[in-house]
Chain A
Amino acid sequence: MSEEKYLLEVEHLKQYFPVKEGFRKVPLKAVDDISFAIKPGETLGLVGESGCGKTTVGRTLLRLYQPTAGRIVFDGEVLFDSEKKIDVDMHPFRKQMQMVFQDPYSSLDPRMTVEDIIGEPLDVHKLYSSKGERRDKILSLMETVGLNAEHAMRYAHEFSGGQRQRIGIARALAVDPKFIVCDEPVSALDVSIQAQVVNMFEEIQEKLGVAYLFIAHDLLVVHHISDRIAVMYLGHIMEIADADDLNNNPVHPYTLSLLSAVPIPDPETARNSKRIILEGDVPSPLKMPSGCPFRTRCKYATEQCAREMPPLTDRGDRHFVACWNK
């Protein structure tokens, strides 16, 4: 496993947020001990229901939050290590790691023209030597994401959701990054536009060789774009496997229920397929169940599940599952 070179390695990453409960401060365990790795040019899909910590993972990786514990290695350089107390200045790495945001409406400054939005990363990292070069770079970025050159002087509110997301992608691409965190980039878009944008992500990956962490809650979209998929539940990774493998041979009961919820286009097949409906609600991340967080809703739960969190174990073919019983 470690023979191949990874672009990004995350080990035992924890991100707790202090929440005041009366006079006590209780940690909200948004991300609790997750590990994964991404190869250059690879796409790791991250799925899970709302509030399971997907977005937090992405933001912690880019060090928009200060991680509570763990180790982040990017391109051979340690960005953060809580044990060795390594905490580097992120500024030079911002050129290599970028992010595309979920909401194309609030992620673009309403007072800036498209040219300035895309030009901002160029300005910050001084990636041009003359005004003309800046403009050329911006125009070529706009072309990459399928925007017309005459849109450069317009303001973000004059565009549709899909176009705005393209602007956001162009901004992320401006610094020529090796790794982009796509934080539910298509969730806010119409289904027809979703396909266009997802295909654009794939084209960009083919052309520029960037690696993605593609966060979404739509399994179909994630399956379409990802090489590997990680399933998250309440801050833990439950299962991580190659996209097709996960789709065809899901192991973890949570993955099974997620997959059974994917709508099937053919009504005949749909009628015959059994939907696994989970009982109960997601527990509050402030009052996590002991052991496996999923045990409160799992029909296979045993005593061991209440005692210990199952480790991610290899079930062959790089298919990792965290479950005692499956």
Chain B
Amino acid sequence: MDNREMKKSFLSAQVDVSKFNAGNFEKATDDEKRQQDVMGESTTFFKDGMRRLRKNPLAMGSIVVLVAIILAIIIAPHFVPYSYDEVITVNGQRDKTMTNLDFMCYSDKELAYMEETGEDLFPHIFGTDGLGRDYFIRVIYGTRVSLAVGVVAALMVVLIGIIYGSVAGYFGGKVDLVMMRIVDIIYSLPDMLIIILLSVVLKEVLAGKLAGTVLSRLGTNMISMFIVFGLLYWVSMARLIRGQILTIKNNEYVLAAKCIGTPNRKILTKHILPNCLSVIIITTALQIPSAIFTESYLSFLGLGVSIPLSSLGSLANDARAGMQSYPARLVIPAVIICLIVLALNLLGDGLRDAFDTKLD
């Protein structure tokens, strides 16, 4: 009762409620209530990672370079009228002056032909090689082969590595022990020796069987390389995935899933693998350049794609002979290899920075 008579201090900032009545207030609308909701927009792990990736200029630059290269190798063969294995002819006749042309040049016969008919021939953007083949289209096809080999080999490695590593890591104990010793043994095999031996053996075995199929274009060397990738290169991937799974499977949510009665297969695919997805994506991105390197390296040694198909490595090898006179022919494939590998490595780094962070 006394409180009512208490005088309000003139310094007090308290609102004097007695001055207001119900008419002074209005109910908050639903819209206003929603503004009070403090929770942010719901984001998924993936969206969050992509947002971070987009802020990384190096990674975005790499994506632009890669997309440009991929677009070029898809589109270019459609409007360049030459083929990678075609020795260029003018009006159906073999042209001896066609060889070793410089950038954007025409041969004498081509110039005469254009003069005569008024028809524009497609320029030889990178000139021609020693046999008179358009070098630009050969580089394009070489890039196609190198990238395809890289991606396919990397996917193969990742797939085998995930399956093997996750089984070893998840079941642990004796299973893990045996599986990892096998990995150790494979790890100790000299890979180059095996590739060379396999390609020699496979050449004999496969040559007859492959004739006429798409694979014959790639050549037995390439196939033996894929086999070797499948046999040998997955081990580091398997080790990595196993390590990831060993840490993830100790999380309580895995125990919770076991407690619920979720079968092992589902625990692996629904809880464990999605949680090491970031590592998988990153290593895949880093695995592609290593496969491209191996392919280029083997092609350079003459163990890569079979002629006349080109790969970036075999182009560089061919150009080695005329390095003094025509350095551009060595520089072009070398630069493209560098661009692809650098871009993929930077992208891999960017992906790691964006995705391999701890939530919370």
Q: Which residue numbers of A lie inside 8 Å of B, CB to CB?
A: 59, 62, 64, 90-91, 94-95, 98-99, 101-103, 105-111, 120-121, 124-125, 153-155, 157-158, 168, 171, 175
Contact = CB atoms under 8 A, between A and B. Distances in A.
Interface of B: 39-40, 42-45, 251-253, 255-263, 266, 270-271, 274-275, 359-360
B359 A101 contact: no
A99 B42 CA distance: 28
10 contacts: A64-B259, A98-B259, A103-B252, A109-B275, A121-B260, A124-B263, A125-B261, A153-B42, A157-B359, A158-B42
Nearest to A183: B252
B256 A110 contact: no
The prevalent SS among residues of B at the interface is helix
A94 B258 CA distance: 9
A193 B22 CA distance: 35
Contacts of B266: 124
B258 to A, nearest CB: 6
Contact of A94 (B251, B260, B271): B260
Given A108-B253, A120-B257, 17 more contacts: A64-B255, A90-B261, A99-B259, A103-B252, A109-B253, A109-B257, A110-B45, A110-B275, A110-B360, A111-B45, A111-B271, A120-B260, A124-B260, A124-B261, A124-B266, A155-B45, A158-B40
Contacts, number: 73
A294 B256 CA distance: 33
If over half of A's interface residues share one DSSP class (helix, strand or loop), that class is named, otherwise mixed; here it is: loop
Contacts of B274: 109, 111
B355 to A, nearest CB: 12
A124 B262 contact: yes
A175 B252 CA distance: 19
A62 B258 CA distance: 10
Contacts of B45: 110-111, 155
B261 A106 contact: no
Nearest to B44: A155
A210 B206 CA distance: 68
B252 A101 contact: yes
A158 B39 contact: yes
A107 B261 contact: no
Which of B44, B258, B261, B262 lies at the interface centre, i.e. has the most chain A CB atoms within 10 A of its CB?
Answer: B261
Contacts of B258: 64
A59 to B, nearest CB: 8
Contacts of A64: 255, 258-259
A154 B260 contact: no
Nearest to A59: B255
A65 to B, nearest CB: 10
Interface centre among B253, B258, B261, B270 (most CB of A within 10 A): B253
Contacts of A59: 255
Contacts of A171: 256, 260
Contacts of A107: 251-253, 255-256
Contacts of A175: 260
A102 B261 CA distance: 19
Contacts of B359: 110, 157
A148 to B, nearest CB: 10
